[in-house]
Amino acid sequence: MMHIYNNSEALYKGFTRFLAEFTENYPHLNLALSGGNTPKALFDYWAEHAKNALLWDKITFFWGDERCVAPEDEMSNYGMTSQHLFSKIPAISLRNVRRVYGENEPEAEALRYASVIDRMVLQRHQLPCFELIMLGLGDDGHTASIFPNQIEKWNDDAHCVVTQHPQTKMKRVSFTGQVINNARDVAFLVTGKGKAEIVRRIVQEPEKYTKLYPAALVKPTQGKLHWFLDEEAAALL
Ligand code: 6PG
């Protein structure tokens, strides 16, 4: 399902409305956040304009991927979320936050976080079934922290794996494809003209790129796939 907006601000507003309505459908929402700049801007929007727009106490926050750094590190997705969202909205209780311990040894943390989501999140088809997983899209076609040069990790039997950023070599903990595709709904949030070509390839010809781009493998088995795009990112559709 395509949701296209004039600009990024309109996208954040539209996604907020979608999430508010989506949250009404469930007694509780296990939400997996993505990292990077797009969610940072969304969190700033929420802090500024949507403090009361969402039923925060109905949401438990997880991460679909995290960098293997301490929470104080500027690269930490949890640290960024804490700074731009949790610290700005007192209605969000830290009891509802389940971060990846980026400071832990990566392999041990991937196992630990997999056991957390297996324990905390309703199972469906013997897999944790998040109500909603938010994803970003790298211009190289990565999503969560599954990168093109390690695309085989998408199909790992584990529910969380350790990967490595191809350029920075920074280790990451990431959901695998079976967890992402088991969600009730999955929402890509993508902005900017720099993503227009990769969005076109993945939205219009996913089957052509399943060996190249992990994002082309996002196909919820039963849930809906949403694309929240600004006009720049959707320019080639
Ligand atoms: C991360 C993300 C990653 C991100 C994309 C897009 O931890 O970096 O989860 O998959 O979503 O790289 O990032 P931007 O939103 O910054 O373009």
Write the pLDDT tens digit of every residue in 116-158. Answer: 999 999 999 999 999 999 999 999 999 999 999 999 999 999 9
Residue 203 confidence (pLDDT):
98
DSSP state letter for 42: H
Residue 62 confidence (pLDDT):
99
Report field, pTM of the whole predicted structure over 0.95: yes
Q: Are 153 and 181 in contact (CB under 8 A)?
A: no
Residue 44 confidence (pLDDT):
98
Distance 123 CA to ligand 1 centre (A): 26
Stretch 12-29: mean pLDDT, rounded? 97
Hey, which of 65, 84, 154, 164 would you mutate to test ligand 1's pocket, going by the most ligand atoms within 8 Å of its Cβ?
65
For the CA of 63, the closest atom of ligand 1 is 9
Distance 23 CA to ligand 1 centre (A): 24
Instruction: Supply φ then ψ for residue 113, to 5 degrees.
Output: -65, -35
Supply the residue whose CA is at minimum distance from atom 1 of ligand 1. 35
Distance 143 CA to ligand 1 centre (A): 7
Distance 148 CA to ligand 1 centre (A): 14
Single-letter amino acid code for the residue at 122: L
pLDDT in tens, 34-90: 999 999 999 999 999 999 999 999 999 999 999 999 999 999 999 999 999 999 999
